[in-house]
Structure 1
Amino acid sequence: MRIALHTQYFAPEPGAPSARLKSLASTAMARGHDVCVLTGMPSYPQGVIQPGYGGTWKRDEVDGVPVFRSYVYPSNSLRTLPRVASYSAFAASSAIAGLALPPIDLLITESPPLTTGPAGYFVAKAKRAKWIFNVSDLWPKSAVELGVLTGRRAIQAAERLEAFCYRSAWMVSGQSESILADIHHRFPAARTVALLNGVDTQLFGPHLRDEHLKSTELGGGFVALYAGLHGLAQGLRQLLDAAALLRDLPEVRIVLIGDGPEKEALIADALARGLHNVRFLPGRPPVEVPALLASADVALVPLRGAITGAVPSKVYEAFASGLPVVLAADGEAAEIVESSGAGLVVSPDAPNEIASAIRSLYESPERRAAMAKAGRVAATSRFDRVASANRFLEVVEHEWAKGQ
């Protein structure tokens, strides 16, 4: 097949969608498919176009995959209008740029943002291609749960757009079983298939642990590490509250690596409260993250409240790195951590429970070692990203063959 991936975020940008789709592209090429990517100029998560990019159109290549880039209005603002402008600008520009793609048989559109849906539908129709709508977060449901989307009319409009995408797609894929269950419950006619985030078990691993890196970059001691976006959904303020409860353990420090719209406010809050056991580091290129993660002692994966279907890719990366997880979430993510025996699950928005979990793991090296081993086993046997991509492609190839 001739496959195009349509996404606002792609390498060199960090994050789960970029990593997952990059892996999907390379896996599809290894299976003999022709693959290209339709995406935007890289600006995530800083909200600034990266050097070497810009303008309205650019063609480049990532790991041998042709990439067609169109205009984006860069923004990492939490305010509604800049976010809508950013999403809408890419939807419009990619709809136009998509007409210049080479002939394709299949277009896979990534959501969120939900606005990519109509653009993907338009391009697929224009190119006479099958269309898969890929859902990594349930919009607008998760946006409503986070308080980002408010107002009855706005919510109803977003729900109508969501329904259009599910009903128009040839297939709907999702990043967790709970996302797919939610879609199937509301839209039983939709053909669904899993495309789990997973993890590159060759890229992440405990063998990358580096004590020198730990002492210089992470500050030494017992490191509880958060690496990822500093945004609303992550609820990172609860980590600062947990740090305040751990002042009596001078060896323990909470380290946060990454960028995002909440970072400046978090740094200001930590300084105002005198949290000397908290360390902030700027975002790192994806290639540097595995060694940093493996050099920590515990991985922190918080979420703000209940977000339907959310399974952060950080869970899988910690598993593969041989790092015990402290997960502040419920739902499918909690089930995965508990069933794997690879960490501790606490309630979301409960800093006292996060602090207690970190304290417990700090005091028990044997328990940490057992969880680390269990996590690595789970990553390689259940959550390998290439294996997940292959399972997805097998289903798509089978369905495609039935229609030929």
Structure 2
Amino acid sequence: MKILYIHQYFRTPAEGGAIRSYYMARGLVEHGFEVELITAHNEPVAVTKIIDGITVHYLPVFYENEQGFWQRLYAFFKFMRLARKKARQITDVDICYATSTPLTIGLSAMSIKKEKNIPYLFEVRDLWPEAPFQMGVIKNRLLKKYLRRLEKKIYCQAQSIVALSPGIKEKIQETVPGKPVTVIPNMSDVDFFVPEAKKPELEKLFEVEGRFVVSYFGTIGLANHLEYLLAAANATLKAGLPVTFFIIGRGSQLPRLQYLVKHFGLTNVRFLPFQNKYNLKRVLNITDAAYVSFARKPVLETNSPNKFFDALAAGKLIITNTAGWVKDIVEEQKCGFYYDPDIPQEFVSRLQPFIEKQNLLNTYQQHARQVAETRFARSAQVARLIEVIS
């Protein structure tokens, strides 16, 4: 079977970031499927590469997280147009697998369905357009109405839908009752990320000897609202706890956060540049707890953040400031804790026992690894996708 896979933001482990599509596509290839993938890159010309058996077509569509709304929208529609054109050149396709965001990927999928007379599966990573509605990014009434209709049309025309969390599935089924929806969360790479003792040379390199390390890694955007982390760091500093916070990544809010750290004298907060998967492993070695952060918007409670799954695989204590299914897992499986981000002192009181009691920290970290192995292993997620496609 030949699959046409469409994902605007395809990344490999060497590039870092969200690499779900890489592992899904590679898993399909390893199980005998032929996969051609259409994506974009920030280069001036189109390029085709063979990556671990996947034929990847890179289209010239510039995109950065720091871009404004209209620049992003232009990039979305440009990719949609070029992807449709490229798809016409790819022959003998049996099914299209289109993954959002952006929602405009669905327009490409519907066009391919019509032109090639093949079905498509639609993967929903985030509830779009609900997320930008709640974040206040899209306010125009007519645009909202159009996007709502478009969302429903894309869902209706899909053969079936893959949701990355139970909350996303629930919202989709409210929009299109009766449509088949399968939950396939993001994955924990339990072969690559493994629990390991802190290496003294890395502790020295990062200057964290004798420190408890809390790391945030991922996008630094409005939706992540990392001001919550800064407030927690401030409360921790005032409490005199030996904690260092790392913020690792890139995004539109990075300059603002750097300014706030300097302005408020948060000497326990440090920034590291975006890391690929291999360098991230070094940072996780000296990390005790991973911080998962989102703004207090109901739609963001449905998210399936990559950082959460990587941290589980590495056996790290999970700290989340967001209600929803991640909070439920963390509390039910005793692999971390939730705190009210509007009460930074609660962060201090919840964290302190893990600083003072190494056995307690070890137990929760072991639970995290167990969750990764039993619920989110990469092989299990690929198997679920094959079942849906077949």
> What range describes the TM-score normalised by the shorter chain of this pair?
over 0.9
- Which residue does the alignment assign to 1:33? 33
- Partner Cα separation in structure 1 for residue 163 and residue 339 of structure 2: 25
> Does residue 205 of the first structure (1) align with residue 194 of the second (2)?
yes
| Deviation of 1:75 (Å) | 3.1
Instruction: Name the CA shift for 1:211/1:87 in 2 (closer, same or farther; >3 Å).
Output: farther
Report if the CA contact (8 A) 1:239-1:354 is conserved. Answer: no
Report if the CA contact (8 A) 1:243-1:278 is conserved. Answer: yes
Report if the CA contact (8 A) 1:71-1:89 is conserved. Answer: no
Out of 1, 11, 14, the position equivalent to 2:16 is 14
1:148-168 deviation digits (Å, cap 9, x = unpaired): 222322211111110111011
Report if the CA contact (8 A) 1:324-1:375 is conserved. Answer: yes
Instruction: Name the CA shift for 1:335/1:274 in 2 (closer, same or farther; >3 Å).
Output: same
> Does residue 243 of the first structure (1) align with residue 233 of the second (2)?
yes
Out of 357, 361, 367, the position equivalent to 2:354 is 361
1:278-297 equivalences in 2 (<5 Å): 278-297=269-288
| Deviation of 1:101 (Å) | 2.1
Q: What residue identity is the alignment partner of 2:5? A: L
- Partner Cα separation in structure 2 for residue 69 and residue 9 of structure 1: 10
- Which residue does the alignment assign to 1:234? 224
Residues paired across the two proteins, number: 384
Instruction: Name the CA shift for 1:336/1:218 in 2 (closer, same or farther; >3 Å).
Output: farther
- Which residue does the alignment assign to 2:368? 375
Out of 164, 167, 173, the position equivalent to 1:178 is 167
Unpaired runs of at least 5, structure 2? none
| Deviation of 1:218 (Å) | 6.0
1:252-277 deviation digits (Å, cap 9, x = unpaired): 11111111111111111111111110
| Deviation of 1:291 (Å) | 3.1
Instruction: Name the CA shift for 1:301/1:69 in 2 (closer, same or farther; >3 Å).
Output: same
| Deviation of 1:348 (Å) | 4.6
- Which residue does the alignment assign to 1:340? 333
| Deviation of 1:364 (Å) | 2.5
- Partner Cα separation in structure 1 for residue 343 and residue 147 of structure 2: 31
Instruction: Name the CA shift for 1:393/1:208 in 2 (closer, same or farther; >3 Å).
Output: farther
Out of 254, 258, 261, the position equivalent to 2:245 is 254
Unpaired runs of at least 5, structure 1? 42-48, 398-404
- Which residue does the alignment assign to 1:104? 93
| Deviation of 1:358 (Å) | 2.9
Report if the CA contact (8 A) 1:137-1:179 is conserved. Answer: yes
- Partner Cα separation in structure 1 for residue 257 and residue 61 of structure 2: 27
| Deviation of 1:244 (Å) | 0.9
1:94-173 equivalences in 2 (<5 Å): 94-173=83-162
> Does residue 69 of the first structure (1) align with residue 58 of the second (2)?
yes
1:211-226 equivalences in 2 (<5 Å): 211-217=200-206, 219-220=208-209, 221-226=211-216
Q: Tell me, what secondary structure is at the counterpart of 2:136?
A: coil
1:382-393 equivalences in 2 (<5 Å): 382-393=375-386
Instruction: Name the CA shift for 1:152/1:355 in 2 (closer, same or farther; >3 Å).
Output: farther
Report if the CA contact (8 A) 1:209-1:291 is conserved. Answer: no
Q: Tell me, what secondary structure is at the counterpart of 2:302?
A: coil
Q: Tell me, what secondary structure is at the counterpart of 1:14?
A: coil
| Deviation of 1:174 (Å) | 0.8
- Partner Cα separation in structure 1 for residue 130 and residue 270 of structure 2: 33
- Partner Cα separation in structure 2 for residue 208 and residue 15 of structure 1: 25
- TM-score calculated relative to the size of structure 2: 0.93
- TM-score calculated relative to the size of structure 1: 0.90
> Does residue 93 of the first structure (1) align with residue 82 of the second (2)?
yes
1:316-327 equivalences in 2 (<5 Å): 316-327=309-320
Q: What residue identity is the alignment partner of 1:305? A: R
Report if the CA contact (8 A) 1:10-1:22 is conserved. Answer: yes
- Partner Cα separation in structure 2 for residue 166 and residue 72 of structure 1: 25
| Deviation of 1:78 (Å) | 5.4
Report if the CA contact (8 A) 2:10-2:39 is conserved. Answer: yes
- Partner Cα separation in structure 2 for residue 208 and residue 134 of structure 1: 37
Report if the CA contact (8 A) 1:294-1:322 is conserved. Answer: no
Instruction: Name the CA shift for 1:313/1:195 in 2 (closer, same or farther; >3 Å).
Output: same
Report if the CA contact (8 A) 2:195-2:313 is conserved. Answer: yes
Q: Tell me, what secondary structure is at the counterpart of 1:15?
A: coil
| Deviation of 1:177 (Å) | 1.5
| Deviation of 1:311 (Å) | 2.7
Identity %: 27
Report if the CA contact (8 A) 1:224-1:358 is conserved. Answer: no
Instruction: Name the CA shift for 1:11/1:208 in 2 (closer, same or farther; >3 Å).
Output: farther
Instruction: Name the CA shift for 1:347/1:106 in 2 (closer, same or farther; >3 Å).
Output: farther
- Partner Cα separation in structure 2 for residue 39 and residue 208 of structure 1: 38
* RMSD over aligned Cα atoms: 1.8
Range 158-167 or range 190-199, more displaced: 190-199
- Partner Cα separation in structure 1 for residue 319 and residue 81 of structure 2: 40
Report if the CA contact (8 A) 1:107-1:130 is conserved. Answer: yes
Instruction: Name the CA shift for 1:119/1:351 in 2 (closer, same or farther; >3 Å).
Output: farther
- Which residue does the alignment assign to 1:187? 176
